[in-house]
């Protein structure tokens, strides 16, 4: 079994040392042994956990969602159904964000069409005449 410093483990997993510390502090990886001088000693198991977390984050899953999946797997239970449900929730969030961005784009495009030569109050007519919804 290999032994890694935090920097080595993070590099091997494709995460930052700061992220590795966060994952450790959140209890997402197995407890880390320490040397007599207090240095953390990470193993291949930690590196694999960091990789799993990185992949989950790349799908937009929260650390809480990833922790839930990891807990289910640690109990030896199938976790892919729960993962699919969490991904479906994430897709709904993405769709909502995309719709919000589309509305914002339309508002900005419309604001660009306003003539800046029109008389206005003490502020910019482009913003005063903007047709935006408050959310």
Q: Domain boundaries in the chain?
A: 1-60, 78-135
What's residue 120's pLDDT? 62
Residue 4 β-bridge partners: 42
Task: Identify the CATH number of the domain defined by range 1-60.
Answer: 1.10.1660.10
Q: What is the CA radius of gyration of the chain?
A: 24
- Mapped onto helix, strand or coil, the DSSP state of residue 33 is strand
CA pair distance 20, 17, nearest whole angstrom:
5
Question: Which tens digits make up the pLDDT trace of 59-112?
Answer: 999 999 999 999 999 999 999 999 999 999 999 999 999 999 999 999 999 888
pLDDT band at 123 (very low <50, low <70, confident <90, very high): confident
Q: Distances in Å between the alpha carbon of 82 and those of 9, 42, 58, 93, 130? A: 28, 29, 17, 17, 43
Residue 41 β-bridge partners: 33
Residue 82 · residue 64 · CB < 8 Å: no
CA pair distance 43, 9, nearest whole angstrom:
8
Q: Quick one: tokens of 45? A: 């198991």
Query: 106-110, 121-125, 131-135: lowest mean pLDDT where?
Result: 131-135
Q: What phi and psi, each to the nearest 5 degrees, are found at residue 88? A: -65, -40
């Amino acid at each position: 079994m290999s032994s890694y410093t935090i920097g080595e483990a993070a590099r091997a997993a494709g995460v930052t040392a700061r992220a590795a510390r966060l994952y450790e502090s959140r209890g997402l990886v197995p407890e880390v042994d320490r040397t007599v001088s207090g240095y953390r000693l990470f193993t291949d198991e930690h590196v694999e956990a960091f990789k799993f977390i990185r992949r989950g984050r790349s799908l937009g899953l929260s650390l809480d969602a990833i922790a839930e999946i990891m807990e289910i797997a640690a109990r030896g239970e199938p976790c892919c159904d729960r993962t699919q449900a969490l991904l479906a929730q994430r897709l709904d969030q993405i769709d909502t964000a995309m719709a919000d961005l589309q509305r914002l784009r339309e508002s900005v495009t419309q604001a660009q069409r306003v003539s800046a030569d029109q008389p206005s109050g003490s502020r910019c007519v482009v913003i005063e005449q903007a047709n935006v919804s408050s959310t």
